Amino acid sequence: MTEPLDTSTVDTWAIVETDFDVRNNRHYEALMAIGSGPLQQRASLEGGLSDDPQDREYLHL
């Protein structure tokens, strides 16, 4: 399990990823997902990540 993201510098109108850390990748993927209701779409890196497989399913309950 990853540590919670540091939200002390959060801008309420923007999601800004200042540096890339594979441990936080899924947090940002979820925040930047496009969707409405049961259908969600998220982007993944074309080259993939060796430390974080991109072939997992996400369930929106």
Cα gap 30→14, rounded to integer Å: 15
Say yes or no to pLDDT of 13 above 50: yes
Residue 44 forms part of a structural domain: yes
Q: How confident is the model at residue 61 (pLDDT cuts 50, 70, 90)?
A: very low
In a domain, 58, yes or no: no
Q: Domain for residue 42, yes or no?
A: yes
Quick check: is 14 in a domain?
A: no
Highest mean pLDDT of the ranges 2-6, 11-15, 17-21, 47-51: 17-21
Name the β-bridge partners of 14: 11
Structure confidence at residue 23 as a pLDDT band (50, 70, 90): confident
6 is a domain residue: no
In a domain, residue 46? The reply is yes
Range of the structural domain that residue 28 is part of: 21-50
Does any domain span residue 32?
Answer: yes
What's the total number of domains in the chain?
Answer: 1
Q: In a 10 Å sphere around its CB, with 0-12 CB exposed, 13-18 middle and 19+ buried, how is residue 36 labelled? A: exposed
For range 9-33, the mean pLDDT = 76
